[in-house]
């Protein structure tokens, strides 16, 4: 069966059809032929979205690390599994072979066991993008412990909330981390967090920046001496298909962050299969995803998906702007990167620098470019296509979520014709539906609605840790017998999907539904504009009106020009219609962003609505300082 690697557009349709008509047979074949099982399944799928309950490959036994490591040892033992590129370009990159990675994971797993971690225990990992992060994730999986990685940019409050929610017994961290020219005191943040976490018995500390840190006797241990003492053999714990693999927190529009729980077999099969096809991965490729392993993108497409395919996956410790804005391109040239996967926010930041940096480096190794995390605006798409891909590398605009575990709507490179700002077609096995406000499915093309998924796929999150009711309420209650994504989307005349943004960002002006993404696209076309975000605020006549927060490329010169305001509204009128014009346009020095680079529209909305007393906790933002400045200059 050759369904594992799709190379043509017609083939996509054939395989897609099969995956929809005979989903169990389809996934069974993929699972059968491309993975290592200790025991095969009794049943491929059982599901009920109304409960909700989904089980894939029930009865099967496996260990995901045997699939990511052991089975490659014979054929790819010396091949680089992880290519670590440090923050400081002067420091040498580290090539960790499959053999070395296997040994490091086994030793680490033995350290976990020695410190009392058993199958099913939760381990919180709060590490920078250094090899120990991937190693500790895999070490947990080796022994059946459930990892919960917390992005090492979150505050101590955010960390303690997550530790307590999943009742983690151990925290793995480092003395500190490098971020560009700065260092962060991670161990200090952990110490602060642990003042509120009684359940944590031990803390393992990796050395990275060689700073002086406080070590609490009987609780805190330096990692390296323990690893030096550890045995290098560690049998993989045999796991059931539906045993939890990890918990990863994602913030909801309200309330506590949600601990999305993913399980073993389905997650493995789906992330491996999507990785192979969405990036057209071939044996000698050097694949680089710039995300942090603290996000789902890193879990699925830095660690598990690539390693399950025996790929070389790059881990980059630094930031795109250090030592200068050429860093990404320097790395692409140096390691001859073949696939490059990043976020629109990064592309916009780099595009803001013009083409000087990108033109300095040889990017001819690149074959496939990817984006993820938010809608990519047309201008950024073209900049990426023209200057990075030189118009010859297809861009895969991949839509998915923490909850979905893997990529859901995406082009398949060299097969699906791409279209700027469109994630295009559902991946194999994915059955999207657009729903109207009355809960009816909207059929046909040239329509828009709320994006739902009608049928389970192998890597869907199985629950919210400790709160199944919330899982049901959030994802399975808005529409009967469907998974609701929370996003809006449109389907064009050929059936391509464009994600228009979170449905909670939709602004209704004079009874018209306006997604924020197309309006921001129009604004961003203006040559003076660097970035924009629009929100609704109450209006006497129209119900809602639009408030635009806009950063200009050259803030000093043009800040108060009413002309720019007029031109922007003209662009919106041209692209969408006068209905979408902005009532207020505030030029700002920056937009509040989450650590993953997403614009926090919720905060901007509160400011526009004069509800600054309800801003909530802004300390976990990437740039909390811009909030006050925006408030001070509010129109
Ligand atoms: C939300 C999920 C999936 C990894 C990173 C984000 C938005 C994601 C796209 C895209 C338009 C996108 C959606 C989605 N989103 N990818 N290609 N085009 N929007 O994971 O933090 O769980 O966020 O990100 O709104 O619901 P996440």
For residue 575, the domain's CATH number is 3.30.300.30
The answer on 258 and 138 residing in a single domain is yes
Cβ(595) – ligand 1 distance below 6 Å: no
Cα separations in angstroms, 321 against 296, 341, 346, 357, 598: 23, 17, 10, 11, 18
DSSP assignment, residue 199?
T
Strand 483-491 relative to strand 447-453, pairing = antiparallel
Statement: residue 181 has pLDDT above 60: yes
Statement: residue 506 has pLDDT above 80: no
Statement: residue 300 has pLDDT above 60: yes
pLDDT at 374: 82
pLDDT at 502: 72
Cβ(424) – ligand 1 distance below 6 Å: no
* Residue having the nearest C-alpha atom to atom 10 of ligand 1: 399
List pLDDT tens digits, range 96-117.
999 999 999 999 999 999 999 9
The answer on 541 and 404 residing in a single domain is no
CA of 501 to the centre of ligand 1 (A): 9
Strand 43-48 relative to strand 177-179, pairing = unpaired
Residue pair 620/595 in contact (Cβ under 8 Å)? The answer is: yes
Residue 125 three-state SS: strand
Helix (H) or strand (E) holding 164: helix 156-166
CA of 499 to the centre of ligand 1 (A): 9
Residue 58 pairs in a beta bridge with 43
pLDDT band of residue 51 (cuts 50, 70, 90) is very high
d(CA 268, CA 273): 8
The answer on 259 and 161 residing in a single domain is yes
Cβ(250) – ligand 1 distance below 6 Å: yes
User: Which among 388, 406, 422 is the end of a domain?
Assistant: 422
CA of 503 to the centre of ligand 1 (A): 12
Cβ(291) – ligand 1 distance below 6 Å: no
Comparing CA positions, the residue from 465, 507, 501 lying closest to residue 485 is 501
d(CA 68, CA 268): 9
Cβ(271) – ligand 1 distance below 6 Å: no
pLDDT at 255: 55
257 cis-preceded (ω within 30 degrees of 0) = no
pLDDT at 434: 98
Residue 43 three-state SS: strand
User: Which among 387, 422, 457 is the end of a domain?
Assistant: 422
453's tokens:
């998924």
Cβ(151) – ligand 1 distance below 6 Å: no
Mean of the pLDDT values across residues 371-379?
Answer: 88
> What pTM did the predictor assign?
0.85
Sheet with 543-552, strands from edge to edge, namely: 529-539, 543-552, 584-587
- 147 in any annotated domain: yes
Average pLDDT of the residues of the chain: 93
Cβ(485) – ligand 1 distance below 6 Å: yes
Mean of the pLDDT values across residues 44-57?
Answer: 98
Among the residue ranges 308-322, 352-366, 367-381, the one predicted with the least confidence is 367-381
d(CA 12, CA 299): 26
Cα separations in angstroms, 388 against 77, 160, 355: 33, 40, 9
Q: 25 exposed, middle or buried (CB, 10 Å; 0-12, 13-18, 19+)?
A: exposed
Cβ(421) – ligand 1 distance below 6 Å: no
The answer on 537 and 402 residing in a single domain is no
* Residue having the nearest C-alpha atom to atom 12 of ligand 1: 374
Cβ(448) – ligand 1 distance below 6 Å: no
Mean of the pLDDT values across residues 168-185?
Answer: 96
Residue 339 pairs in a beta bridge with 287, 368
pLDDT band of residue 532 (cuts 50, 70, 90) is very high
The answer on 533 and 404 residing in a single domain is no
Per the structure, the count of domains in the chain is 2
Mean of the pLDDT values across residues 423-429?
Answer: 98
pLDDT at 232: 95
Statement: residue 250 has pLDDT above 90: no
CATH number for 313: 3.40.50.12780
The answer on 405 and 542 residing in a single domain is no
Residue pair 86/318 in contact (Cβ under 8 Å)? The answer is: yes
- 493 in any annotated domain: no
373: left (phi over 0), alpha (psi -120 to 50) or beta: left
Among the residue ranges 84-88, 188-192, 238-242, 543-547, the one predicted with the least confidence is 543-547
- 156 in any annotated domain: yes
Residues 6+ apart with CB under 8 A from 4: 30, 33, 34, 273, 276
Among the residue ranges 67-71, 357-361, 492-496, 578-582, the one predicted with the least confidence is 578-582
Statement: residue 632 has pLDDT above 70: yes
Helix (H) or strand (E) holding 247: strand 244-250
In the Cβ-directed half-sphere of 506, how many Cα atoms lie within 13 Å?
19
d(CA 193, CA 155): 8
Percent of the chain with pLDDT over 70: 96
Residue 542 phi, psi (nearest 5): -90, -5
* Residue having the nearest C-alpha atom to atom 6 of ligand 1: 373
pLDDT band of residue 513 (cuts 50, 70, 90) is low
- 116 in any annotated domain: yes
CA of 594 to the centre of ligand 1 (A): 13
pLDDT at 505: 60
Residues in the chain, how many? 635
The answer on 299 and 175 residing in a single domain is yes
pLDDT at 3: 84
520's tokens:
């921001």
Statement: residue 446 has pLDDT above 60: yes
pLDDT at 252: 59
CA of 232 to the centre of ligand 1 (A): 39
- 483 in any annotated domain: no
Greater pLDDT, 383 or 158:
383
The answer on 261 and 132 residing in a single domain is yes
Alpha carbon 255 to its chain centroid, in Å, reads 21
Mean of the pLDDT values across residues 502-506?
Answer: 65
CA of 372 to the centre of ligand 1 (A): 6
From 499, 517, 518, 596, mutation site for ligand 1 pocket: most ligand atoms within 8 A of C-beta:
499
What is the per-residue burial (b if ≥16 Cβ within 10 Å, else e) of 407-438? bbbbbbbebbebbbbbbbbbbbbbbbbbbeee
pLDDT band of residue 508 (cuts 50, 70, 90) is low
Structural domain of 224:
2-319+398-422
Residue with tokens 């050759």: 2
d(CA 281, CA 301): 12
314's tokens:
């790059």
Statement: residue 559 has pLDDT above 60: no
The answer on 516 and 411 residing in a single domain is no
557: left (phi over 0), alpha (psi -120 to 50) or beta: alpha
């Amino acid at each position: 069966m050759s369904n594992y690697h799709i190379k043509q557009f017609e083939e996509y349709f054939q395989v897609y059809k099969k995956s929809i008509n005979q989903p169990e047979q389809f996934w069974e074949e993929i699972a059968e032929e491309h993975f290592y099982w200790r025991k095969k399944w009794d049943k491929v799928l059982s599901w009920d979205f109304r409960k909700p309950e989904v089980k894939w490959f029930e009865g099967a036994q496996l260990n995901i690390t045997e699939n990511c490591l052991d089975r490659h040892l014979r054929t790819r033992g010396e091949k680089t599994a992880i290519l670590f590129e440090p923050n400081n370009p002067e420091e040498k990159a580290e090539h960790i072979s499959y053999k070395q990675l296997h040994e490091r994971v086994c030793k680490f797993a033995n350290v976990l066991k020695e410190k009392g971690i058993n199958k099913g225990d939760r381990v919180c990992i709060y590490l920078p993008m250094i090899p120990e992060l991937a190693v500790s994730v895999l070490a947990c999986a080796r022994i059946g412990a459930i990892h919960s990685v917390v992005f090492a940019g979150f505050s101590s409050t955010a960390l303690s909330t997550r530790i307590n929610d999943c009742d983690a017994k151990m925290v793995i961290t480092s003395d500190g981390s490098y971020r560009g020219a700065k260092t962060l005191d991670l161990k200090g943040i952990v110490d602060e967090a642990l003042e509120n976490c009684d359940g944590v018995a031990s803390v393992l500390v990796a050395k990275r920046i060689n700073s002086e840190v406080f070590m609490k006797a009987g609780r805190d241990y330096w990692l390296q001496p323990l690893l030096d003492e550890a045995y290098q053999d560690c049998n993989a714990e045999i796991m059931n298909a539906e045993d939890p693999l990890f918990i990863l927190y994602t913030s909801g529009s309200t309330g506590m962050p949600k601990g999305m729980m993913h399980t073993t077999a389905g997650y493995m099969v789906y992330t491996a299969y999507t990785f192979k096809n969405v990036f057209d991965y071939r044996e000698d490729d050097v694949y680089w995803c710039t995300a942090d392993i603290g996000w789902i993108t890193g879990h699925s497409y830095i660690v598990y998906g690539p390693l399950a395919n025996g790929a070389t996956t790059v881990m980059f410790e630094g930031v795109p702007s250090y030592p200068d804005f050429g860093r990404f391109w320097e790395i692409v040239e140096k390691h001859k990167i073949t696939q490059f996967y990043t976020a629109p926010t990064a592309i916009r930041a780099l595009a803001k620098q013009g083409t000087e940096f990108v033109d300095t480096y040889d990017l001819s190794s690149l074959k496939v470019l990817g984006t993820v995390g938010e809608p990519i605006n047309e201008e950024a798409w073209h900049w990426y296509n023209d200057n990075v891909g030189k118009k010859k590398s297809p861009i895969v605009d991949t839509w998915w979520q923490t909850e979905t575990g893997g990529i859901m709507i995406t082009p398949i490179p060299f097969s699906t014709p791409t279209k700027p700002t469109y994630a295009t077609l559902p991946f194999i096995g994915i059955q999207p539906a657009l729903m109207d406000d009355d809960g009816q499915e909207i059929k046909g093309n040239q329509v828009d609605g709320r994006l739902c998924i009608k049928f389970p796929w192998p890597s869907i999150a199985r629950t919210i840790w400790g709160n199944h009711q919330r899982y049901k309420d959030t994802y399975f209650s808005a529409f009967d017998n469907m998974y609701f994504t929370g996003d809006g989307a449109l389907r064009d005349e050929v059936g391509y999907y464009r994600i228009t943004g979170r449905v909670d960002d939709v602004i209704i002006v004079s009874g018209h539904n306006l997604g924020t993404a197309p309006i921001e696209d129009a604004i961003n076309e203006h040559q003076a504009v660097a970035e924009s975000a629009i929100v609704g605020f109450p209006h006497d006549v129209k119900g809602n009106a639009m408030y635009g927060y806009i950063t200009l490329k050259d803030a000093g010169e043009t800040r108060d020009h009413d002309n720019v305001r007029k031109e922007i509204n003209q662009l919106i009128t041209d692209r969408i219609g006068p209905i979408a014009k902005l009532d207020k346009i505030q030029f700002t020095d920056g937009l509040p962003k989450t650590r993953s680079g997403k614009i926090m529209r919720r905060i901007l909305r509160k400011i526009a609505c004069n509800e600054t007393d309800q801003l909530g906790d802004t300390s976990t933002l990437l740039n909390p300082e811009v909030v006050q400045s925006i408030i001070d200059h509010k129109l």
